[in-house]
Chains A and B, each alone.
Chain A
Amino acid sequence: MSAEPILRVEGLSKHFPVRNVWKRRIGWLRAVDDVSLEVSRGEILGIVGESGCGKSTLGKTLMGIHTATSGHVVFEGHDIAGLKPHQSRKYREHLQYCYQDPGASLDPRWTIRSSLHEPLIVHTALKEEQREQRVREILRAVGLPETHLDLYPHEISGGQQRRVGLARILTLKPSVVILDEPTSGLDVSVQATILNLFLDLQRAFGLTYLFISHDLSVVRLICDRVAVMYLGRIVEIGATQAVFETPRHPYTQSLLAAIPKIGGPRVTDSFALEGEPPSPTNLPSGCRFRTRCPMAQPLCAEQEPALRADWPAQRAACHFAE
Chain B
Amino acid sequence: MLRILRKLAEDRAALVGLILILALIAAAILAPLLSTHPGDVTEFHTARRLSPPGPENWLGTDRMGSDIYSRLLFGARITLTIAVTAIAVAVLIGVPMGLIAGYYEGFGSNLLMRVSDIFLAVPQIVLAIAIAQTLGPSIENVILALSATYWPFWARLVYAETRSIKNEPFVEAAIALGCSPFRVMVLHILPSISSSIIVRTTIGMGGTILTAATLGFLGLGPPPPTPEWGRTIAESREFLPMAWWYAAFPGLAIFLVVMGFNLLGDGLRDVLDPRLRRAARHGK
Contacts and interface: CB of A to CB of B under 8 A. Distances in A.
Interface of A: 60, 63-65, 85-86, 89, 92-93, 96-97, 99, 101, 104-109, 118-119, 122-123, 165, 168
B176 A63 contact: yes
B102 to A, nearest CB: 17
Contacts, number: 58
B198 to A, nearest CB: 14
Contacts of A89: 178
Interface stretch (B67-75, B122-130, B167-175): B167-175
B179 interface: yes
Contacts of B181: 86
Interface string B159-203: 000000000111011111111110100001001100000000000
A60 B176 CA distance: 8
Residue from the set B169, B170, B173 with the largest chain A CB neighbour count within 10 Å = B173
A106 B168 CA distance: 10
B238 to A, nearest CB: 56
Residue from the set A97, A104, A118, A165 with the largest chain B CB neighbour count within 10 Å = A118
Interface string B107-134: 0000000000000000000000000000
A53 B192 CA distance: 33
Which 9 A/B pairs are nearest by Cβ-Cβ distance? A105-B173, A104-B169, A89-B178, A85-B178, A97-B176, A107-B170, A86-B180, A63-B176, A109-B191
A142 B136 CA distance: 67
A65 B176 contact: yes
Given A107-B188, A109-B191, A109-B192, A65 B172 contact: yes
B169 A118 contact: no
A106 B178 contact: no
Interface of B: 168-170, 172-181, 183, 188, 191-192
Contacts of B178: 85-86, 89, 92-93, 119, 122-123
Residue from the set A96, A105, A122 with the largest chain B CB neighbour count within 10 Å = A105
A105 B170 contact: yes
A118 B174 contact: yes
A122 B177 contact: yes
A107 to B, nearest CB: 5
B261 to A, nearest CB: 26
B227 to A, nearest CB: 44
Contacts of A92: 178
Contacts of A104: 168-170, 173
Contacts of B183: 122
Nearest to B177: A119
B273 to A, nearest CB: 14
Nearest to B168: A104
Contacts of B173: 97, 99, 104-106, 165
Residue from the set A101, A107, A109, A168 with the largest chain B CB neighbour count within 10 Å = A107
A57 B95 CA distance: 32
A65 B183 CA distance: 16
Contacts of A122: 177-180, 183
B179 A86 contact: yes
Given A106-B170, A165-B173, 20 more contacts: A63-B176, A65-B175, A85-B176, A85-B177, A85-B178, A86-B181, A89-B178, A93-B178, A97-B173, A99-B173, A101-B169, A105-B170, A105-B172, A106-B173, A107-B188, A108-B170, A108-B192, A109-B192, A122-B179, A122-B180
Nearest to A115: B170
A99 B180 CA distance: 19
Nearest to B188: A107
B100 to A, nearest CB: 15
B179 A64 contact: no
Nearest to B169: A104
A65 B168 CA distance: 13
Contacts of B170: 104-108
23 contacts: A63-B176, A64-B176, A65-B175, A85-B175, A85-B178, A86-B178, A86-B180, A89-B178, A93-B178, A96-B177, A97-B173, A99-B169, A104-B169, A105-B169, A105-B170, A105-B172, A108-B170, A108-B192, A118-B174, A122-B178, A122-B180, A122-B183, A123-B178
Contacts of B176: 60, 63-65, 85, 96-97
B211 to A, nearest CB: 34
Residue from the set B168, B177, B181 with the largest chain A CB neighbour count within 10 Å = B177
A85 B176 CA distance: 6
B183 to A, nearest CB: 7
Contacts of B172: 65, 99, 105
Contacts of B191: 109
Nearest to A178: B176
Contacts of A96: 176-177
B24 to A, nearest CB: 31
Contacts of A105: 169-170, 172-173
A119 B192 CA distance: 19
Given A99-B169, A101-B169, A108-B170, A118 B192 contact: no
B174 A107 contact: yes
